[in-house]
Structure 1
Amino acid sequence: MKSLDTALRVASLFKDVEEPLGVVEIAERLALNKSHVSRILASMRRAGLLVQNPRTRRYSVGVEAFAIGVRYINGNPLARAAVPVIRACSELTGHSVFISVRHDDCSRHILAVEGPHFEESQWRVGIRLALHATASGKVLLAFGPESAGGATLDAVALPRLTPRTITDRDALRETLSRVRAQGWAEARGETVVGLAACAVPVFGRGEALCAAFGVVAPAALLPETALRDTVAILHDHAQRLSLLLGARSYPVPD
Protein backbone atom coordinates (compact mmCIF):
# COMPACT_ATOMS: atom_id res chain seq x y z
CA MET A 1 0.00 0.00 0.00
CA LYS A 2 2.88 2.37 0.69
CA SER A 3 4.13 2.00 -2.89
CA LEU A 4 0.63 2.67 -4.21
CA ASP A 5 0.29 5.76 -2.02
CA THR A 6 3.63 7.04 -3.33
CA ALA A 7 2.58 6.45 -6.94
CA LEU A 8 -0.66 8.34 -6.33
CA ARG A 9 1.29 11.25 -4.85
CA VAL A 10 3.41 11.36 -7.99
CA ALA A 11 0.35 11.21 -10.24
CA SER A 12 -1.38 13.97 -8.27
CA LEU A 13 1.44 16.39 -9.02
CA PHE A 14 0.34 16.51 -12.65
CA LYS A 15 -3.13 17.87 -11.83
CA ASP A 16 -2.08 21.46 -11.29
CA VAL A 17 1.06 22.04 -13.35
CA GLU A 18 1.28 23.72 -16.73
CA GLU A 19 4.68 22.41 -17.78
CA PRO A 20 6.06 18.84 -18.03
CA LEU A 21 7.88 17.53 -14.97
CA GLY A 22 11.24 15.77 -14.70
CA VAL A 23 12.45 13.07 -12.33
CA VAL A 24 14.62 15.40 -10.25
CA GLU A 25 11.88 18.01 -9.86
CA ILE A 26 9.31 15.42 -8.78
CA ALA A 27 11.73 13.80 -6.34
CA GLU A 28 12.53 17.18 -4.77
CA ARG A 29 8.88 18.24 -4.51
CA LEU A 30 7.86 15.01 -2.80
CA ALA A 31 11.11 14.34 -0.92
CA LEU A 32 11.49 10.95 -2.61
CA ASN A 33 14.42 8.93 -3.91
CA LYS A 34 15.10 9.70 -7.58
CA SER A 35 15.41 6.06 -8.60
CA HIS A 36 12.07 5.29 -6.95
CA VAL A 37 10.42 8.18 -8.80
CA SER A 38 11.99 7.04 -12.07
CA ARG A 39 10.52 3.55 -11.69
CA ILE A 40 7.06 4.94 -10.91
CA LEU A 41 7.16 7.25 -13.92
CA ALA A 42 8.28 4.42 -16.19
CA SER A 43 5.34 2.28 -15.04
CA MET A 44 2.90 5.13 -15.66
CA ARG A 45 4.40 5.71 -19.10
CA ARG A 46 3.97 2.05 -20.03
CA ALA A 47 0.34 2.25 -18.89
CA GLY A 48 -0.26 5.33 -21.04
CA LEU A 49 -1.03 7.53 -18.04
CA LEU A 50 2.02 9.67 -18.77
CA VAL A 51 4.04 10.45 -21.88
CA GLN A 52 7.73 11.29 -21.98
CA ASN A 53 9.35 13.81 -24.27
CA PRO A 54 12.27 11.93 -25.86
CA ARG A 55 14.36 15.09 -26.09
CA THR A 56 13.82 16.66 -22.65
CA ARG A 57 13.04 13.38 -20.83
CA ARG A 58 10.25 15.21 -18.99
CA TYR A 59 6.77 13.80 -18.40
CA SER A 60 3.25 15.07 -19.02
CA VAL A 61 -0.27 13.64 -18.83
CA GLY A 62 -1.00 10.82 -21.28
CA VAL A 63 -4.06 9.83 -23.26
CA GLU A 64 -5.10 7.08 -20.83
CA ALA A 65 -5.28 9.62 -17.99
CA PHE A 66 -7.42 11.79 -20.27
CA ALA A 67 -9.69 8.79 -20.91
CA ILE A 68 -10.20 8.33 -17.16
CA GLY A 69 -11.18 11.99 -16.86
CA VAL A 70 -13.64 11.65 -19.72
CA ARG A 71 -15.26 8.70 -17.97
CA TYR A 72 -15.80 10.93 -14.93
CA ILE A 73 -17.63 13.49 -17.06
CA ASN A 74 -19.62 10.93 -19.04
CA GLY A 75 -20.68 9.11 -15.88
CA ASN A 76 -21.53 12.21 -13.88
CA PRO A 77 -25.29 13.03 -13.87
CA LEU A 78 -24.53 16.68 -13.08
CA ALA A 79 -22.22 17.05 -16.08
CA ARG A 80 -24.60 15.26 -18.45
CA ALA A 81 -27.57 17.38 -17.41
CA ALA A 82 -25.57 20.62 -17.42
CA VAL A 83 -24.27 20.58 -21.01
CA PRO A 84 -27.35 22.03 -22.78
CA VAL A 85 -28.07 24.36 -19.85
CA ILE A 86 -24.65 26.02 -19.81
CA ARG A 87 -24.66 26.34 -23.61
CA ALA A 88 -27.98 28.18 -23.47
CA CYS A 89 -26.72 30.39 -20.64
CA SER A 90 -23.56 31.30 -22.56
CA GLU A 91 -25.62 32.28 -25.59
CA LEU A 92 -27.84 34.55 -23.47
CA THR A 93 -25.09 36.21 -21.43
CA GLY A 94 -22.39 36.31 -24.09
CA HIS A 95 -19.87 35.13 -21.48
CA SER A 96 -17.96 31.97 -20.67
CA VAL A 97 -20.01 29.72 -18.38
CA PHE A 98 -18.77 27.08 -15.94
CA ILE A 99 -19.91 24.37 -13.55
CA SER A 100 -17.70 23.94 -10.47
CA VAL A 101 -17.57 21.43 -7.65
CA ARG A 102 -15.64 21.37 -4.42
CA HIS A 103 -12.82 18.91 -3.91
CA ASP A 104 -11.08 19.09 -0.54
CA ASP A 105 -9.76 22.63 -0.13
CA CYS A 106 -10.37 23.93 -3.65
CA SER A 107 -12.94 24.48 -6.36
CA ARG A 108 -12.56 22.85 -9.77
CA HIS A 109 -14.45 23.60 -12.97
CA ILE A 110 -15.66 20.27 -14.34
CA LEU A 111 -17.49 21.69 -17.35
CA ALA A 112 -17.34 24.95 -19.29
CA VAL A 113 -18.45 26.68 -22.47
CA GLU A 114 -16.18 29.38 -23.83
CA GLY A 115 -17.81 32.69 -24.67
CA PRO A 116 -16.60 35.12 -27.34
CA HIS A 117 -14.40 36.92 -24.81
CA PHE A 118 -12.72 33.82 -23.43
CA GLU A 119 -10.18 34.57 -20.71
CA GLU A 120 -7.81 31.61 -20.60
CA SER A 121 -5.94 32.52 -17.44
CA GLN A 122 -6.93 30.76 -14.22
CA TRP A 123 -10.32 29.38 -15.17
CA ARG A 124 -9.89 26.40 -17.49
CA VAL A 125 -11.59 23.07 -16.84
CA GLY A 126 -9.84 21.05 -14.14
CA ILE A 127 -7.70 23.86 -12.79
CA ARG A 128 -7.39 24.28 -9.03
CA LEU A 129 -9.14 27.44 -7.78
CA ALA A 130 -9.05 29.00 -4.33
CA LEU A 131 -12.33 28.78 -2.43
CA HIS A 132 -11.99 32.19 -0.79
CA ALA A 133 -11.07 34.16 -3.92
CA THR A 134 -13.51 32.92 -6.56
CA ALA A 135 -17.25 33.30 -7.10
CA SER A 136 -17.62 29.52 -7.39
CA GLY A 137 -15.64 28.92 -4.20
CA LYS A 138 -17.72 31.40 -2.21
CA VAL A 139 -20.92 29.69 -3.36
CA LEU A 140 -19.54 26.28 -2.43
CA LEU A 141 -18.53 27.56 1.01
CA ALA A 142 -21.74 29.50 1.63
CA PHE A 143 -24.22 26.80 0.61
CA GLY A 144 -22.23 23.66 1.42
CA PRO A 145 -23.21 21.22 4.18
CA GLU A 146 -20.82 22.84 6.67
CA SER A 147 -21.96 26.39 5.91
CA ALA A 148 -23.70 26.83 9.25
CA GLY A 149 -20.53 26.22 11.26
CA GLY A 150 -17.04 27.64 11.34
CA ALA A 151 -14.90 24.51 11.57
CA THR A 152 -14.51 24.01 7.83
CA LEU A 153 -13.95 27.69 7.13
CA ASP A 154 -11.27 27.81 9.81
CA ALA A 155 -9.40 25.10 7.91
CA VAL A 156 -9.47 26.96 4.57
CA ALA A 157 -6.19 28.68 3.70
CA LEU A 158 -6.55 32.36 2.72
CA PRO A 159 -3.48 33.27 0.65
CA ARG A 160 -3.37 36.73 -0.92
CA LEU A 161 -3.51 36.26 -4.70
CA THR A 162 -4.11 39.90 -5.68
CA PRO A 163 -4.56 43.15 -3.72
CA ARG A 164 -8.33 42.48 -3.73
CA THR A 165 -8.20 38.97 -2.25
CA ILE A 166 -10.04 38.52 1.06
CA THR A 167 -7.50 37.27 3.60
CA ASP A 168 -9.30 38.13 6.85
CA ARG A 169 -11.41 35.24 8.15
CA ASP A 170 -14.04 37.47 9.75
CA ALA A 171 -14.40 39.45 6.53
CA LEU A 172 -14.85 36.20 4.61
CA ARG A 173 -17.55 35.07 7.06
CA GLU A 174 -19.40 38.33 6.47
CA THR A 175 -19.08 37.86 2.72
CA LEU A 176 -20.44 34.31 2.91
CA SER A 177 -23.38 35.46 5.03
CA ARG A 178 -24.19 38.00 2.33
CA VAL A 179 -23.85 35.32 -0.36
CA ARG A 180 -26.37 33.10 1.46
CA ALA A 181 -28.78 36.01 1.93
CA GLN A 182 -28.71 37.19 -1.69
CA GLY A 183 -28.27 33.79 -3.36
CA TRP A 184 -25.18 34.55 -5.43
CA ALA A 185 -21.48 35.41 -5.17
CA GLU A 186 -19.13 37.73 -7.01
CA ALA A 187 -15.36 37.84 -7.39
CA ARG A 188 -13.77 40.83 -9.05
CA GLY A 189 -10.01 40.77 -9.50
CA GLU A 190 -9.52 38.53 -6.45
CA THR A 191 -7.72 35.70 -8.24
CA VAL A 192 -6.60 37.43 -11.43
CA VAL A 193 -6.47 41.20 -11.84
CA GLY A 194 -8.93 42.30 -14.51
CA LEU A 195 -11.09 39.17 -14.34
CA ALA A 196 -14.64 39.11 -12.94
CA ALA A 197 -17.07 36.30 -12.22
CA CYS A 198 -20.40 35.69 -10.55
CA ALA A 199 -21.95 32.37 -9.55
CA VAL A 200 -25.08 30.82 -8.07
CA PRO A 201 -25.75 27.45 -6.41
CA VAL A 202 -27.11 24.31 -8.07
CA PHE A 203 -29.03 21.87 -5.88
CA GLY A 204 -30.01 18.21 -6.17
CA ARG A 205 -32.15 15.74 -4.24
CA GLY A 206 -33.08 17.01 -0.81
CA GLU A 207 -31.99 20.48 -1.92
CA ALA A 208 -28.39 19.50 -1.19
CA LEU A 209 -25.74 21.61 -2.89
CA CYS A 210 -24.36 19.95 -6.03
CA ALA A 211 -22.27 22.66 -7.68
CA ALA A 212 -21.65 26.31 -8.41
CA PHE A 213 -22.84 27.66 -11.76
CA GLY A 214 -21.40 30.91 -13.04
CA VAL A 215 -19.98 33.18 -15.69
CA VAL A 216 -16.52 34.67 -16.08
CA ALA A 217 -15.41 37.57 -18.26
CA PRO A 218 -13.01 40.50 -18.43
CA ALA A 219 -14.08 42.86 -15.66
CA ALA A 220 -14.83 45.64 -18.14
CA LEU A 221 -17.40 43.39 -19.85
CA LEU A 222 -19.08 42.33 -16.59
CA PRO A 223 -19.62 45.67 -14.81
CA GLU A 224 -21.47 46.04 -11.51
CA THR A 225 -24.42 47.54 -13.40
CA ALA A 226 -24.86 44.31 -15.40
CA LEU A 227 -24.76 41.93 -12.44
CA ARG A 228 -28.48 41.98 -11.65
CA ASP A 229 -29.46 40.86 -15.16
CA THR A 230 -26.63 38.31 -15.33
CA VAL A 231 -27.53 36.82 -11.95
CA ALA A 232 -31.19 36.57 -12.98
CA ILE A 233 -30.18 34.53 -16.04
CA LEU A 234 -27.93 32.33 -13.91
CA HIS A 235 -30.68 31.72 -11.35
CA ASP A 236 -33.15 30.81 -14.08
CA HIS A 237 -30.78 28.25 -15.61
CA ALA A 238 -29.55 26.96 -12.23
CA GLN A 239 -33.16 26.37 -11.17
CA ARG A 240 -33.79 24.42 -14.37
CA LEU A 241 -30.67 22.33 -13.77
CA SER A 242 -31.54 21.78 -10.10
CA LEU A 243 -34.96 20.38 -11.02
CA LEU A 244 -33.33 18.05 -13.55
CA LEU A 245 -31.08 16.79 -10.74
CA GLY A 246 -33.99 15.97 -8.44
CA ALA A 247 -34.47 19.11 -6.37
CA ARG A 248 -38.12 19.84 -5.54
CA SER A 249 -37.49 23.57 -5.30
CA TYR A 250 -34.75 26.14 -5.78
CA PRO A 251 -34.12 27.52 -2.27
CA VAL A 252 -32.53 30.90 -2.99
CA PRO A 253 -33.97 34.41 -2.67
CA ASP A 254 -35.85 35.85 -5.64
Structure 2
Amino acid sequence: MERSNTSRQVPFEHTGASAGGVQSVDRAITVLDILARAGSAGVIEIAREMGVHKSTASRLLAALDARGMVNQNRERGKYQLGFTVLRLANSIPRRLSLVKEAGPILEELAERFQETVNLAVLRSRYAVNVDQAMGPSSLATTNWVGRLTPLHATSSGKVLLAGLSADRREEILRETGLPARTAKTVTSRSELEKSLVEIAAAGYSIVHEEFEIGLNGIAVPVHDHTGSVAGALSISGPSFRFTPEETPGLIEDLKQSALRISARMGYPG
Protein backbone atom coordinates (compact mmCIF):
# COMPACT_ATOMS: atom_id res chain seq x y z
CA MET A 1 0.00 0.00 0.00
CA GLU A 2 1.45 3.38 -0.99
CA ARG A 3 1.93 6.16 1.50
CA SER A 4 -0.44 9.08 1.21
CA ASN A 5 1.08 12.11 -0.47
CA THR A 6 0.77 14.46 2.52
CA SER A 7 2.85 17.58 3.04
CA ARG A 8 4.67 15.99 5.97
CA GLN A 9 5.73 12.93 4.02
CA VAL A 10 6.61 13.97 0.49
CA PRO A 11 10.08 15.50 0.84
CA PHE A 12 11.66 13.27 3.46
CA GLU A 13 10.02 9.88 3.91
CA HIS A 14 10.90 8.62 0.43
CA THR A 15 14.63 9.33 0.70
CA GLY A 16 15.90 7.45 -2.30
CA ALA A 17 13.25 4.69 -2.17
CA SER A 18 11.78 5.75 -5.50
CA ALA A 19 12.25 8.22 -8.31
CA GLY A 20 9.44 10.30 -6.80
CA GLY A 21 11.20 10.37 -3.46
CA VAL A 22 14.46 11.55 -5.01
CA GLN A 23 12.56 14.23 -6.93
CA SER A 24 10.90 15.41 -3.72
CA VAL A 25 14.23 15.69 -1.93
CA ASP A 26 15.69 17.56 -4.88
CA ARG A 27 12.74 19.95 -4.89
CA ALA A 28 13.02 20.55 -1.15
CA ILE A 29 16.71 21.41 -1.53
CA THR A 30 15.82 23.74 -4.39
CA VAL A 31 13.35 25.57 -2.14
CA LEU A 32 16.06 26.04 0.50
CA ASP A 33 18.47 27.28 -2.16
CA ILE A 34 15.93 29.83 -3.42
CA LEU A 35 15.32 31.16 0.09
CA ALA A 36 19.04 31.30 0.83
CA ARG A 37 19.57 33.36 -2.30
CA ALA A 38 16.50 35.59 -2.09
CA GLY A 39 16.24 35.98 1.68
CA SER A 40 12.50 35.45 1.57
CA ALA A 41 9.89 34.45 -0.99
CA GLY A 42 6.20 33.62 -1.26
CA VAL A 43 4.60 30.41 -2.50
CA ILE A 44 3.83 31.84 -5.94
CA GLU A 45 7.38 33.17 -6.39
CA ILE A 46 8.90 29.84 -5.43
CA ALA A 47 6.51 27.88 -7.64
CA ARG A 48 7.27 30.13 -10.60
CA GLU A 49 11.05 29.80 -10.18
CA MET A 50 10.83 26.02 -9.79
CA GLY A 51 8.36 25.61 -12.64
CA VAL A 52 5.83 23.71 -10.51
CA HIS A 53 2.20 24.27 -9.49
CA LYS A 54 1.75 26.47 -6.45
CA SER A 55 0.10 23.56 -4.60
CA THR A 56 3.33 21.57 -4.99
CA ALA A 57 5.39 24.47 -3.68
CA SER A 58 2.94 24.88 -0.81
CA ARG A 59 3.29 21.21 0.19
CA LEU A 60 7.07 21.43 0.11
CA LEU A 61 7.07 24.56 2.25
CA ALA A 62 4.65 22.99 4.73
CA ALA A 63 6.92 19.96 5.13
CA LEU A 64 10.01 22.12 5.59
CA ASP A 65 8.14 24.39 8.00
CA ALA A 66 7.11 21.38 10.11
CA ARG A 67 10.78 20.53 10.61
CA GLY A 68 11.94 24.07 11.30
CA MET A 69 13.85 24.32 8.03
CA VAL A 70 11.77 27.34 6.99
CA ASN A 71 9.36 29.63 8.74
CA GLN A 72 6.67 31.99 7.52
CA ASN A 73 6.43 35.66 8.25
CA ARG A 74 2.78 35.82 9.26
CA GLU A 75 2.41 39.49 8.37
CA ARG A 76 3.98 39.33 4.89
CA GLY A 77 3.12 35.71 4.13
CA LYS A 78 6.61 35.03 2.81
CA TYR A 79 8.94 32.24 3.88
CA GLN A 80 12.54 32.42 5.01
CA LEU A 81 15.12 29.93 6.24
CA GLY A 82 14.42 28.61 9.73
CA PHE A 83 16.51 28.00 12.83
CA THR A 84 17.08 24.33 12.01
CA VAL A 85 19.10 25.36 8.97
CA LEU A 86 21.11 27.76 11.13
CA ARG A 87 21.77 25.02 13.69
CA LEU A 88 22.94 22.62 11.01
CA ALA A 89 25.12 25.26 9.38
CA ASN A 90 26.75 26.21 12.66
CA SER A 91 27.72 22.59 13.27
CA ILE A 92 29.77 22.43 10.07
CA PRO A 93 32.81 24.56 11.01
CA ARG A 94 33.43 22.50 14.15
CA ARG A 95 33.71 19.39 11.99
CA LEU A 96 36.00 20.83 9.38
CA SER A 97 39.75 20.99 9.75
CA LEU A 98 41.54 23.56 7.64
CA VAL A 99 44.69 21.44 7.64
CA LYS A 100 42.81 18.30 6.62
CA GLU A 101 40.94 20.03 3.82
CA ALA A 102 44.01 21.82 2.51
CA GLY A 103 46.59 19.02 2.73
CA PRO A 104 46.13 17.38 -0.69
CA ILE A 105 46.06 20.77 -2.41
CA LEU A 106 49.34 21.80 -0.77
CA GLU A 107 50.93 18.62 -2.10
CA GLU A 108 49.64 19.33 -5.62
CA LEU A 109 51.08 22.84 -5.61
CA ALA A 110 54.44 21.71 -4.25
CA GLU A 111 54.71 19.11 -6.99
CA ARG A 112 53.63 21.52 -9.72
CA PHE A 113 55.85 24.47 -8.80
CA GLN A 114 58.72 22.55 -7.17
CA GLU A 115 58.85 24.87 -4.15
CA THR A 116 57.71 24.96 -0.52
CA VAL A 117 54.00 25.48 0.05
CA ASN A 118 52.69 26.59 3.45
CA LEU A 119 49.34 27.11 5.12
CA ALA A 120 49.31 29.78 7.83
CA VAL A 121 46.69 31.12 10.23
CA LEU A 122 46.54 34.08 12.57
CA ARG A 123 47.48 33.34 16.17
CA SER A 124 47.48 36.28 18.54
CA ARG A 125 49.83 38.77 16.86
CA TYR A 126 51.63 36.42 14.48
CA ALA A 127 51.19 34.16 11.49
CA VAL A 128 51.78 30.53 12.41
CA ASN A 129 52.38 27.88 9.78
CA VAL A 130 50.14 24.88 10.44
CA ASP A 131 50.97 22.72 7.42
CA GLN A 132 53.64 22.45 4.77
CA ALA A 133 54.44 20.55 1.59
CA MET A 134 57.81 20.51 -0.09
CA GLY A 135 58.50 20.18 -3.79
CA PRO A 136 61.33 18.05 -5.16
CA SER A 137 63.70 21.01 -5.39
CA SER A 138 62.99 22.25 -1.86
CA LEU A 139 64.17 19.26 0.17
CA ALA A 140 66.72 21.30 2.08
CA THR A 141 64.31 24.10 2.90
CA THR A 142 63.50 24.95 6.51
CA ASN A 143 60.52 23.23 8.13
CA TRP A 144 58.17 26.12 8.85
CA VAL A 145 55.40 24.18 10.62
CA GLY A 146 54.74 25.65 14.06
CA ARG A 147 56.92 28.69 13.50
CA LEU A 148 55.56 32.14 14.31
CA THR A 149 56.36 34.78 11.71
CA PRO A 150 55.74 38.54 11.78
CA LEU A 151 52.65 39.70 9.98
CA HIS A 152 54.18 42.77 8.36
CA ALA A 153 57.19 41.03 6.81
CA THR A 154 55.77 37.90 5.18
CA SER A 155 53.40 37.28 2.29
CA SER A 156 51.12 35.16 4.49
CA GLY A 157 51.17 37.73 7.26
CA LYS A 158 50.22 40.57 4.93
CA VAL A 159 47.31 38.55 3.54
CA LEU A 160 46.10 37.91 7.09
CA LEU A 161 46.52 41.59 8.01
CA ALA A 162 44.61 42.67 4.90
CA GLY A 163 41.70 40.49 5.99
CA LEU A 164 41.36 42.11 9.42
CA SER A 165 39.19 45.03 10.44
CA ALA A 166 40.98 48.36 10.75
CA ASP A 167 40.54 48.30 14.53
CA ARG A 168 41.99 44.81 14.96
CA ARG A 169 44.89 45.62 12.65
CA GLU A 170 45.61 48.79 14.61
CA GLU A 171 45.59 46.85 17.87
CA ILE A 172 48.06 44.24 16.58
CA LEU A 173 50.48 46.64 14.93
CA ARG A 174 50.47 48.92 17.95
CA GLU A 175 51.65 45.99 20.06
CA THR A 176 54.18 44.52 17.62
CA GLY A 177 55.46 47.57 15.80
CA LEU A 178 57.14 47.14 12.43
CA PRO A 179 60.66 45.91 13.24
CA ALA A 180 63.03 45.47 10.31
CA ARG A 181 63.97 41.87 9.60
CA THR A 182 66.05 42.80 6.55
CA ALA A 183 66.89 45.98 4.70
CA LYS A 184 63.84 45.35 2.51
CA THR A 185 61.28 45.01 5.32
CA VAL A 186 58.49 47.59 5.16
CA THR A 187 58.74 49.63 8.37
CA SER A 188 56.54 52.57 7.40
CA ARG A 189 52.97 52.29 8.64
CA SER A 190 51.58 54.39 5.80
CA GLU A 191 53.46 52.32 3.22
CA LEU A 192 52.21 49.11 4.82
CA GLU A 193 48.60 50.30 4.88
CA LYS A 194 48.82 51.28 1.22
CA SER A 195 50.16 47.84 0.31
CA LEU A 196 47.39 46.11 2.32
CA VAL A 197 44.74 47.95 0.32
CA GLU A 198 46.43 46.77 -2.87
CA ILE A 199 46.67 43.21 -1.54
CA ALA A 200 42.98 43.14 -0.67
CA ALA A 201 42.10 44.38 -4.16
CA ALA A 202 44.48 42.08 -6.04
CA GLY A 203 43.83 39.00 -3.93
CA TYR A 204 47.48 38.15 -3.33
CA SER A 205 50.67 39.39 -1.65
CA ILE A 206 54.24 39.10 -2.90
CA VAL A 207 57.34 39.79 -0.82
CA HIS A 208 60.97 39.90 -1.88
CA GLU A 209 63.45 39.16 0.92
CA GLU A 210 61.48 41.09 3.56
CA PHE A 211 61.63 38.33 6.17
CA GLU A 212 64.87 36.61 5.20
CA ILE A 213 67.58 37.58 2.74
CA GLY A 214 67.36 35.25 -0.24
CA LEU A 215 63.73 34.23 0.34
CA ASN A 216 60.78 35.32 -1.81
CA GLY A 217 57.14 34.41 -1.29
CA ILE A 218 53.60 34.83 -2.51
CA ALA A 219 50.37 34.21 -0.56
CA VAL A 220 46.64 34.29 -1.17
CA PRO A 221 43.74 34.24 1.31
CA VAL A 222 41.69 31.19 2.28
CA HIS A 223 38.13 31.98 3.38
CA ASP A 224 35.78 30.21 5.77
CA HIS A 225 32.02 29.71 5.57
CA THR A 226 31.37 33.28 6.75
CA GLY A 227 33.60 34.80 4.08
CA SER A 228 36.26 35.83 6.60
CA VAL A 229 39.94 35.18 5.93
CA ALA A 230 40.69 31.95 7.79
CA GLY A 231 44.23 31.44 6.59
CA ALA A 232 46.86 32.14 3.96
CA LEU A 233 48.16 29.76 1.31
CA SER A 234 51.71 30.57 0.26
CA ILE A 235 54.59 29.42 -1.90
CA SER A 236 58.15 30.46 -1.11
CA GLY A 237 61.55 29.76 -2.53
CA PRO A 238 65.11 31.04 -2.93
CA SER A 239 65.29 34.40 -4.65
CA PHE A 240 67.90 33.16 -7.13
CA ARG A 241 65.35 30.82 -8.74
CA PHE A 242 61.91 31.88 -7.51
CA THR A 243 60.32 35.13 -8.66
CA PRO A 244 56.55 34.75 -8.12
CA GLU A 245 55.34 37.36 -10.58
CA GLU A 246 57.51 35.88 -13.33
CA THR A 247 56.46 32.26 -12.80
CA PRO A 248 53.94 31.32 -15.54
CA GLY A 249 50.48 30.53 -14.21
CA LEU A 250 51.54 30.76 -10.56
CA ILE A 251 49.28 33.56 -9.36
CA GLU A 252 46.12 32.21 -10.97
CA ASP A 253 46.84 28.60 -9.93
CA LEU A 254 47.47 29.69 -6.35
CA LYS A 255 44.23 31.69 -6.29
CA GLN A 256 42.23 28.78 -7.69
CA SER A 257 43.79 26.39 -5.17
CA ALA A 258 42.83 28.73 -2.32
CA LEU A 259 39.27 28.85 -3.67
CA ARG A 260 39.15 25.04 -3.67
CA ILE A 261 40.21 24.96 -0.02
CA SER A 262 37.75 27.75 0.82
CA ALA A 263 34.94 25.83 -0.86
CA ARG A 264 35.76 22.81 1.29
CA MET A 265 35.47 25.09 4.32
CA GLY A 266 31.97 26.17 3.25
CA TYR A 267 32.87 29.42 1.51
CA PRO A 268 30.16 30.17 -1.10
CA GLY A 269 32.54 32.10 -3.34
**Whole-Å separation in 1 of the counterparts to 2:100 and 2:155:** 23
Distance 1:240 1:230, change over 3 A: same
- Secondary structure in 1 aligned to 2:220? strand
Distance 1:117 1:192, change over 3 A: farther
Cα distance per residue 1:61-95 (max 9 Å; x no partner): xxxxxxxxxxxxxx861011011111111112221
**Paired residue for 1:235?**
255
For normalisation by structure 1, the TM-score amounts to 0.64
- How is 1:114-193 mapped onto 2 (pairs within 5 angstroms)? 114-118=134-138, 120-121=141-142, 124-146=144-166, 150-193=170-213
Tell me if structure 2 keeps the 8 A contact 1:96–1:116.
Answer: no
**Paired residue for 2:123?**
103
Tell me if structure 2 keeps the 8 A contact 1:145–1:209.
Answer: no
Tell me if structure 1 keeps the 8 A contact 2:180–2:187.
Answer: yes
Distance 1:224 1:120, change over 3 A: closer
Percent of residue pairs bearing the same amino acid type = 26
Structure 2 regions of 5+ residues with no counterpart? Answer: 1-94
**Whole-Å separation in 1 of the counterparts to 2:179 and 2:132:** 26
**Aligned-pair distance for 1:228?**
6.2
**Aligned-pair distance for 1:226?**
2.0
- In structure 1, which of residues 81, 84, 88 is the aligned counterpart of residue 104 of structure 2? 84
For normalisation by structure 2, the TM-score amounts to 0.60
Structure 1 regions of 5+ residues with no counterpart? Answer: 1-74, 250-254
**Paired residue for 2:228?**
208
- Secondary structure in 1 aligned to 2:178? coil
- Secondary structure in 2 aligned to 1:132? helix
Q: Which has the larger radius of gyration?
A: 2
**Whole-Å separation in 1 of the counterparts to 2:188 and 2:210:** 13
**Aligned-pair distance for 1:103?**
0.7
When structure 1 is superposed on structure 2, of 84-93 and 190-199 the one drifting more is: 84-93
User: Greater relative contact order (Cα 8 A, min sep 6): structure 1 or 2?
Assistant: 1
The total of aligned residue pairs comes to 174
